[in-house]
Amino acid sequence: MTYEEALDALDRLYAELPAFTCQQQCQASCGVIVMSRLEWVRIQRKLGYKPKGKPTLVCPMLKQGRCSVHAIRPTICRIWGLVDMPLMRCPYGCIPARWMSEEEGYTWLAMADTISQQIYPHAEPSAPAQGIPMDKITAYIDECKSNMTTAGTRS
């Protein structure tokens, strides 16, 4: 598989996602963006430089409150608001044509990585722009889940 064929495969995968009308109010939800190596390289080539963020939870591709790579945003950004789980639901009331299950969300991420592995066989998904290792990302997600559970028991 060539690089261009891999991009075509990614685009076909993206085209199969449920329809979703975004109100463009969710910028505060753009945090650590874990993506496949193929998606990262695509972004670098599109921008003409390697985005560098600070090791924070803010996506470095946000420019003036808008996604600077929206047309080629990675899978995690595309499934946000489509997956029926608290961390992935849009807090602004956007509803997809159909909800994806949590399992489906993970399957879509794995499918994008499988395509990437055809070009970059030893590259693990990561948050390259922020330089945050996967163990810290996982810990942060676990902390968010814990906070949501705790908040739910208080109400």
Q: What is residue 41's predicted lDDT score, i.e. its pLDDT?
A: 92
If one counts the domains in the chain, the total is 1
Residue 66, domain member (yes or no): yes
**Three-state helix/strand/coil letters over 52-76:** CCCCCCCCCCEECCEECCHHHCCHH
Q: What is residue 96's predicted lDDT score, i.e. its pLDDT?
A: 92
Residue 90, domain member (yes or no): yes
Residue 11, domain member (yes or no): yes
Residue 17, domain member (yes or no): yes
Q: What is residue 33's predicted lDDT score, i.e. its pLDDT?
A: 78
The tens digit of pLDDT for each residue in 69-83 reads 989 999 988 998 899
Q: What is residue 89's predicted lDDT score, i.e. its pLDDT?
A: 86
* Structural domain of 46: 3-150
Asked if pLDDT for residue 155 goes beyond 70, the answer is no
Residues 47-56: contacts with CB under 8 Å, at least 24 apart: 50/129, 51/129, 52/129, 53/129, 53/130, 53/131, 54/130, 55/130, 55/131, 55/132, 56/130
The tens digit of pLDDT for each residue in 85-138 reads 888 888 888 889 999 999 999 899 999 999 999 999 987 766 666 666 667 767
Residue 155, domain member (yes or no): no
Residue 40, domain member (yes or no): yes
Residue 19, domain member (yes or no): yes
Whether this prediction's pTM lies above 0.85 is answered by no
